[in-house]
Structure 1
Amino acid sequence: MKIILISLDTLRASRMSGYGYGKRTSPHMDRIARDGVLFERAYAADIPTEVAHTGVFTGKIGLTTGVVSHGSDLTHLPKSVEWLPNLLRGAGFTTGAVDNLYQLKEWFARGFNYYINTVGGNRWIDGSTINGLALPWIEQHKDESFFLFLHYWDAHTPYLPPASYVPEFYDASKDPFDPANASMEPAYNHTAYPFFKHHHYDLVGRVTDTDYYDALYDAEIRYLDDRLKELDDHLAKLGIQEETLLVLFGDHGESLTEHDIYWDHCGLYEPTVHVPLIMRWPGRIPAGRRVPGLVQQADILPTLLDAVRRETPAGIAGDKLADPAGLDGKSLWSAIEGTSDGTRESLYLSECAWQAARAIRNDRYKLIVTYDAGPFRRPPRELYDLSADPQETVNLAETRPDIADALESQLNAFVAKKLDGKPDPMQEQLTRRGLPFRRRIEQILNAAGLTWEQWERNPDRAVFDRATAGMQGH
């Protein structure tokens, strides 16, 4: 038995053709879904990257592990917390990873016989680099039962796809640098501009058309899709495609100007928390199944452990591979086999990086409660009727306080139950350190001789550009 778990960093479900997008961004992932199962409403309970992946590898949400904030020096995951690679290695699998999450936190390297760190001089990692390391590893271990984790970053900013991928997604008659186009001005004059200027915008150039940025994102997805086809073709060439359980998931999505968020992954809105989840295992998972109900990333761990117990190949102690205690995730096998539509009726969502907020989402409504808006302007409560308003444009919190109050009570009761008297890690972060990404902006501003208070009053990109002219690495 082989298991390949693939993180598609920053891949938004609704931007994939298999999830209903009108452009052909993901033909091979769509084919994988047709040969397996696609979960139509899979969610990241915690965002962004650090907390999302911690949830995947523990089967527990941030309120259970205490890991709720991305990029914080306060977070720690005790070694006593059971970890998916450790569990599989203990059961007899050879475990490997092509990944660089170790650069964020040391626990991401736990349990791997082989951890191939892809960290380099750039902030971005090309999918060809991942395949260049992963394909030889797979060939070397093709006769073993293995678990391999692959982390592709192509859909993450900065969007720098090969030029040949862009024309399919951008109108050739348009000029992305046309000075008469002012659609980028809200992004360039946003409070978060100092961070994105250096890390994203400068690398792409002074684009004036938001449609071009969206096209770059689509092109990155298509490029990623081709890399996944390359990987899949390699499995077929080696004769191990049929015995491989392939799992594709997004750690979080991406907002493309919605809700004043410009090509980034914050806010508990659908573009960021609704993620793809696709599984294929020929002969074990029925082909063409689309699961309509709510599921979450924490469900992946018990699903994989359940798969091993079902298969128990030679040399694998599947009978000893019990689910860890206190899991938040639930096995997806009943949904895969069609005896249920999902794993829960309500989902609880959380973020603590750019903003600090929690949310509850059920089949119809979503309530978002914001504790610290960071560089954004947010009302304390947002209530959306997702059946009538899937784009989350009409806040009903004031007009339907009965629904908002009931959902907030449900959210608060859930948080209190999970904490069970322990300190709230989100409040600890806000009290002791503040929001990690606001601190990054403050550091950049301070280096430019500006204060947060000045900038928040007047986030004029021309002011910042003049202050940083000639500076390197601000």
Structure 2
Amino acid sequence: MSSTLTLKPDTPRPNIIYIMSDDHAVRAVSAYGSDIAHLAPTPNIDRIARNGVRFDESFVTNSLCGPSRAAMFTGKFGHKNGFNHNGQLFDGSQAVWPRLLKAAGYTTAVIGKWHINLTPDGFDFDHWEVLNDQGEYYNPDWITAEGIQKEMGYTTDQITSKTLKWLDQQRDKSKPFALVMHHKAPHRNWMPAPRHTRAFEQVEFPVPDNYFDTYEGRVAAQMQTMNIYRDAQEGHDLKMTTGVGETQWREDIWPHLLQRLTPEQRAEWDAAYQERNDAMNANEANWSEEEMAIWKYQRYLQDYLATIKSVDESVGEVLDYLEANDLAENTIVVYTSDQGFYMGEHGWFDKRFMYEESFRAPLLMQYPAKIKAGTVVSQLVQNIDYAPTFLEYAGVEIPAEMQGDSMVDIIARTDCDWRSSLYYHFYEYPAMHDVSRHYGVRDNRYKLMHFYYLMDEWEFYDLDKDPAEMTNAINDPAYANEIQRLKTEIKRLEAFYDVPPRTDWIDQPLEYKPAPTLEELYPHCFNS
């Protein structure tokens, strides 16, 4: 990478605020008009769509937290940026858009969840405050250059207040700014803020038609362990208690999260759930398996969507600050998630699969100086496109190594030529949730996937006729030509993106190159 960056002449230098949540499903953003939009609206996130552009066909390269973040920062697939699965060591010395912007005169910061390495090594942020690993919902540990500090309160609110403090008091106001604001919510285990624990307790959410999916014809789907009513932990995930009048959670393999609450917080938490849990415990013996499965679905959505309420409030505070300080016109504000998430479709929570709910991610962007309000982009975009887009808007040369494409032209003129297909690759198996390794291609109508490693299974879907991806049509002779076309397209995309030969990765075990531990980074914080 060249140390000298070329700025295009007469290019305005917009500020950038990149807001990313963790595991926020498209269906849970009301700007997309889903079946639950009226039940759990996100009015502030929707403001970004009204003020700017909504991307209706936005996808990720790998539906997993760390790899998705690495792709977003580098504009490259995991096989190029070196981060294919969680637990690897990310090389921050490669071209990443925050450091490129800093070299071009921006002041930069990251606040919130990081989750690629423990600290933003190599990014050269002017200011950074990141959560420890996954982060906690309550009283989180914050990592800075000085060490680790536990701070009391709700994490989403802390991220917001730290962001506003940096914007208002800490940044160099003589420079344009680029701020990365990463929320922990709505990641598992979905613990709402005290003000929202009861937000949806009286709401009955529609149960997906395929909630009781039997996965016929889909071998990999039969093997997964991410089913809400079979695999979610009754305590940790669903906050179910051991009996009437009890406050102790049932199964909870990460009890430290609940233990972080102060006695006062715990009392408030227990009071919010007691009546509902007591009713469940009193009726459990008389419920059928189906009734219990639906109760668990409702509890999951109640908490998942309640954590999003705090994120939406956070977005509103940031937008309000920009408007109050005459910064909105020349500031790019992005809202997205590191991937999609299952909200009961196929009976699931979590992500990983190339099926639509986890492959697709929300993406909204406003930039009043350049983007027409109410724009809708229907082209196939991917998270490797973010870095080139930010760099082009900032007038910074896009490194040749970036594999994504700038979206500037399709935002300004939605009828221009663009890619016709997307490549996806998931590597993390064997691992949590037992989703087999797979890769595939999606175009504007069809999807082809190959599951490998301990199996050799192909799946094909006509998304126009089967949007829920319930019928694997790989053996349907009516689609023989389309299937062969997409197999050829996979080979073309692998060559285009320089995917290593299959002999190099198809049967290889996962390679872990862990980052230094907190004890190694900050020994003075652990010495007694």
TM class, shorter-length: 0.7 to 0.9
2:51 to 28, 35, 44: 35
Aligned-partner Cα distance in 2 for 1:236–1:107: 30
2:77 to 52, 55, 61: 61
Secondary structure of the 1:246 match is strand
**CA displacement 1:31-52 (0-9 Å, x = unmatched):** 1111111111110112211111
What residue is the counterpart of 2:485 in the other structure?
A: 406
| Larger CA deviation: 142-151 vs 224-233 | 142-151
How many Å apart are 1:92 and its aligned residue?
0.5
2:342 to 234, 249, 255: 255
Q: Quick one: structure 1 residues 67 and 287, their matched pair in 2 at CA, closer, same or farther if it must change by over 3 Å?
A: same
What residue is the counterpart of 2:156 in the other structure?
A: 127
Aligned-partner Cα distance in 2 for 1:404–1:4: 41
How many Å apart are 1:3 and its aligned residue?
1.0
What residue is the counterpart of 1:327 in the other structure?
A: 402
Q: Quick one: structure 1 residues 55 and 27, their matched pair in 2 at CA, closer, same or farther if it must change by over 3 Å?
A: same
Aligned-partner Cα distance in 2 for 1:342–1:119: 42
**CA displacement 1:45-101 (0-9 Å, x = unmatched):** 1221111111111111223323222223xx55372x211111001001011111342
**CA displacement 1:300-344 (0-9 Å, x = unmatched):** 1111111112xxxxxxxxxxx211013221111111112436741
State the AA in 2 paired with 1:363. Answer: N
Which has a greater percent of helix? 1
Aligned-partner Cα distance in 1 for 2:177–2:475: 53
State the AA in 2 paired with 1:50. Answer: G
Unpaired segments of 5 or more residues in structure 1?
175-183, 310-320, 437-474
CA contact (8 A) 1:12 1:276 kept: yes
CA contact (8 A) 2:388 2:405 kept: yes
Q: CA RMSD for the aligned pairs?
A: 3.3
| Larger CA deviation: 250-259 vs 114-123 | 114-123
**CA displacement 1:391-438 (0-9 Å, x = unmatched):** 1111111213443333123213422453366677753xx5233899xx
1:338 aligns with 2:413: yes
CA contact (8 A) 1:67 1:425 kept: no
CA contact (8 A) 1:366 1:384 kept: yes
2:175 to 136, 141, 144: 144
State the AA in 2 paired with 1:403. Answer: E
What residue is the counterpart of 2:252 in the other structure?
A: 198
CA contact (8 A) 1:255 1:266 kept: no
Aligned-partner Cα distance in 2 for 1:187–1:396: 26
How many Å apart are 1:226 and its aligned residue?
0.9
Aligned-partner Cα distance in 2 for 1:296–1:121: 24
How many Å apart are 1:25 and its aligned residue?
2.5
Aligned-partner Cα distance in 2 for 1:255–1:225: 19
How many Å apart are 1:195 and its aligned residue?
9.8
CA contact (8 A) 1:37 1:290 kept: yes
Structure-to-structure mapping, 1:420-431, within 5 angstroms: 426-427=505-506, 431=508
How many Å apart are 1:232 and its aligned residue?
1.5
**CA displacement 1:216-238 (0-9 Å, x = unmatched):** 22222222111110122122233
What residue is the counterpart of 2:91 in the other structure?
A: 77
Q: Quick one: structure 1 residues 232 and 86, their matched pair in 2 at CA, closer, same or farther if it must change by over 3 Å?
A: same
Secondary structure of the 2:182 match is strand
What residue is the counterpart of 2:321 in the other structure?
A: 234
Aligned-partner Cα distance in 1 for 2:488–2:118: 34
CA contact (8 A) 1:63 1:425 kept: no
Structure-to-structure mapping, 1:4-403, within 5 angstroms: 4-21=17-34, 22-23=37-38, 24-72=40-88, 76-77=90-91, 79=93, 81-101=94-114, 104=117, 110-119=123-132, 123-124=136-137, 126-140=155-169, 141=171, 142-162=173-193, 164-165=195-196, 169-171=200-202, 187=228, 189-190=230-231, 198=252, 208=292, 209=295, 210-259=297-346, 262-309=348-395, 321-340=396-415, 343-353=418-428, 354-372=435-453, 380-399=457-476, 400-403=479-482
Aligned-partner Cα distance in 1 for 2:336–2:134: 26
| Larger CA deviation: 19-28 vs 220-229 | 19-28
| Larger CA deviation: 299-308 vs 412-421 | 412-421
Secondary structure of the 1:432 match is coil
State the AA in 1 paired with 2:91. Answer: L
CA contact (8 A) 2:49 2:366 kept: yes
Q: Quick one: structure 1 residues 192 and 325, their matched pair in 2 at CA, closer, same or farther if it must change by over 3 Å?
A: farther
Aligned-partner Cα distance in 2 for 1:271–1:292: 17
**CA displacement 1:262-312 (0-9 Å, x = unmatched):** 321221111111111111112221111011111111111111111112xxx
Secondary structure of the 1:6 match is strand
Aligned-partner Cα distance in 2 for 1:68–1:269: 19
How many Å apart are 1:163 and its aligned residue?
5.2
State the AA in 1 paired with 2:301. Answer: D
Q: Quick one: structure 1 residues 290 and 268, their matched pair in 2 at CA, closer, same or farther if it must change by over 3 Å?
A: same
State the AA in 2 paired with 1:219. Answer: A
State the AA in 2 paired with 1:35. Answer: N
How many Å apart are 1:358 and its aligned residue?
0.8
Secondary structure of the 1:284 match is coil
Secondary structure of the 2:302 match is helix
Q: Quick one: structure 1 residues 118 and 160, their matched pair in 2 at CA, closer, same or farther if it must change by over 3 Å?
A: same
How many Å apart are 1:162 and its aligned residue?
2.9
Q: Quick one: structure 1 residues 252 and 166, their matched pair in 2 at CA, closer, same or farther if it must change by over 3 Å?
A: same
Aligned-partner Cα distance in 1 for 2:184–2:358: 15
- Give the alignment's TM-score, normalised by structure 2: 0.69
What residue is the counterpart of 1:179 in the other structure?
A: none
Aligned-partner Cα distance in 2 for 1:393–1:435: 34
Aligned-partner Cα distance in 2 for 1:185–1:289: 36
How many Å apart are 1:150 and its aligned residue?
0.6
Aligned-partner Cα distance in 2 for 1:364–1:173: 33
